[in-house]
Amino acid sequence: MPEQVPQNFDLTLVLTAAGATVSAALIASIIEVLKQAPVIGAWIDAKREPGLGVLLSLALVAYTVAALQLPTDLVALASYFVAFLGIAALASKSHDLAQKAAGK
């Protein structure tokens, strides 16, 4: 167990490798919950799940950049794009692994 455990959550964690993993799992979980919702659940099917994961990933990264007023120069935008790609890809893989584990 680490000696110092952080007691706060910093939104910039989303843009790190560890944060991307957690964000991807969160997005996959959100999609699963939304599939059970009465109104939107029927709309979300196997064809739309990856697209929804991409949109949620983009929204999360965009919100992080806007909320923290992070720099928007070309190098920073490239790093945000890489974070977005990582989160979107991991969210898709997380969902696929969950489906296989559930035997669906």
Q: What pLDDT does residue 80 have?
A: 93
* Contact between residue 44 and residue 31 where contact means Cβ atoms under 8 Å apart: yes
User: Is 41 among the domain residues?
Assistant: yes
Structural tokens at position 85: 């790609």
69 within a domain of the structure (yes/no): yes
Six-digit token string for 34: 């939304």
Residue 35 lies in a domain: yes
**Does residue 48 lie within any of the structural domains?**
yes
**Residue 3 covered by a domain:** no
Q: Which residues contact 67 (CB under 8 A, 6 or more apart)?
A: 11
Residue 8 has pLDDT above 70, yes or no: no
Q: Tokens 């739309």 identify what position?
A: 48
The residue with tokens 């007691």 is: 7
* Domain range enclosing 25: 15-102
Query: Residue 15: what pLDDT?
Result: 83
pLDDT of residue 104: 62
Helix (H) or strand (E) segment spanning residue 77: helix 74-102
Q: Domains in the chain: how many in total?
A: 1
Mean pLDDT for 69-93 is 91
Q: State yes or no: pLDDT of 99 exceeds 80.
A: no
What is the DSSP-derived secondary structure letter of residue 45? -
> Residue 81's pLDDT is what?
94
